[in-house]
């Protein structure tokens, strides 16, 4: 296969930088045009000093003309910005959107949670998502020319809970999720509440009361796994760390299910998945264990006293939560091995 030429829009942001880090290690990729907004005209090294092989490359203005002519285009743009650019790109190019624009199937859900017009829906890029039929979402991604990468919170929560719904061991209502994210999940724009003096030594909730934009995406994914509507109370929190998500998820144990048989649903779902790891019983996920990797660590336990199943997952929000998923989807779209160019192991200590 010839070298795949790749362009990245929004290359100066955290997600764009993580994409470049991964693409530099991909044996089948040649990195082409890199674009940015306010940072256009600057060298990559001025915004991503860790990317020394690309340090002298100049960031161009983001336009369809600059991105055209590549085999693959990654859009790492704020929500509401991908639709117009994508509409101008050639149909034969693989376009992978790392933003939210094409994730939701329901236009009304989009307009309720977002402040821009609905752009439509692309194939959803979470290959490991188990469906109610027992199939996997990756079957919808092979050979596709347009893919919507999941949000970081939906990745952590969906992979934590979907096996339980597909295996019919969880009740579909009264699902509660509390998840902590590192500050990079909020992007690179300067914001007072993300200053070091505000974040260090503190944790705080945000998007409380069912208003976080990832809520409909989480419910959409779990409904696909359950074969019916799932309602979720989702509360995100900000943790004093640069990257990582730890999601603590619970749902009622389904009526008539033997607690001793619950774990089997996760064992079946993830037995052959290279990036999703059900940890040995008694070992709990930690964000430090998945740092820099495309891995998801999961643990499940039954709280028999209250009749609920608790599932905890850990992901790196910039790798598996965004850029790693994008590269994984590119591999599937191009017919490459799914794991190529993606780190299986985290960085420690």
Q: Directed axis angle between helix 324-334 and helix 14-24, to 10°?
A: 50
Number of Cβ within a 10 Å radius of residue 295: 25
- DSSP per position, 253-293: BPTT--GGGSHHHHHHHHTT-SSEEEPPTT----GGGSTTS
Catalytic residue among 98, 152, 249, 329: 152
Catalytic residue at 121?
no
The single-letter DSSP state of residue 170 is B
Whether the Cβ atoms of residue 247 and residue 179 lie closer than 8 Å to each other? yes
What is the C-alpha to C-alpha distance for residues 165 and 161, in angstroms, rounded to an integer?
A: 7
Intra-chain end-to-end CA distance of the chain, in Å: 37
The H-or-E segment that residue 32 falls in is strand 29-36
Which candidate, 301, 317, 184, 193, places its Cα nearest to that of 246?
317
Which tokens go with 114? 């977002």
**Residues sharing a CB contact under 8 Å with residue 65, sequence separation 6 or more, in sequence order:** none
Residue keyed to tokens 């579909």: 172
The single-letter DSSP state of residue 159 is H
Alpha helix (H) residue ranges in the chain: 14-24, 44-47, 64-67, 82-87, 107-113, 152-166, 196-199, 215-226, 263-270, 324-334
Whether the Cβ atoms of residue 45 and residue 54 lie closer than 8 Å to each other? yes
The residues that are catalytic are: 152
């Amino acid at each position: 296969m010839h070298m795949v030429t790749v362009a990245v829009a929004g290359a100066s942001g955290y997600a764009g930088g993580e994409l470049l880090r991964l693409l530099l290690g991909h044996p089948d990729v040649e990195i082409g045009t890199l674009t940015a907004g306010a940072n256009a005209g600057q060298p990559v090294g001025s915004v991503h000093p860790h990317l020394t092989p690309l340090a002298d490359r100049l960031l161009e203005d983001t336009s369809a003309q600059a991105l055209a002519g590549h085999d693959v285009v990654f859009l790492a743009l704020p929500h509401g910005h991908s639709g117009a650019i994508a509409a101008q790109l050639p149909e034969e190019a693989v376009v992978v959107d790392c933003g939210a624009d094409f994730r939701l199937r329901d236009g009304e859900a989009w307009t309720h949670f977002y402040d821009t017009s609905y752009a439509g829906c692309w194939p959803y890029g979470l290959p490991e998502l188990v469906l109610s039929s027992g199939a996997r979402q990756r079957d919808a991604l092979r050979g596709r020319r347009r893919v919507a990468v999941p949000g970081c919170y939906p990745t952590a929560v969906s992979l934590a809970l979907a096996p339980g719904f597909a295996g019919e061991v969880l009740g579909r209502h009264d699902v509660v999720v509390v998840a902590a994210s590192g500050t990079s999940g909020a992007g690179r724009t300067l914001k007072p509440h993300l200053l070091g003096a505000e974040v260090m030594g503190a944790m705080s909730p945000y998007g409380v009361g069912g208003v976080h934009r990832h809520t409909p995406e989480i419910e959409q994914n779990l409904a696909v796994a359950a074969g019916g509507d799932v309602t979720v109370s989702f509360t995100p929190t900000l943790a004093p760390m640069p990257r990582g998500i730890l999601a603590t998820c619970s749902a009622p144990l389904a009526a008539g299910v033997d607690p001793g048989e619950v774990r089997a649903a996760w064992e079946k779902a993830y037995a052959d998945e290279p990036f999703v790891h059900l940890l040995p019983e008694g070992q709990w996920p930690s964000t430090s264990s998945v740092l820099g990797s495309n891995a998801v660590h999961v643990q499940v336990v039954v709280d028999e006293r209250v009749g609920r199943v608790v599932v905890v997952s850990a992901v790196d929000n910039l790798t598996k939560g965004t850029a790693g998923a994008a590269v994984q989807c590119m591999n599937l779209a191009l017919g490459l091995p799914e794991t190529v160019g993606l780190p299986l192991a985290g960085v420690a200590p």
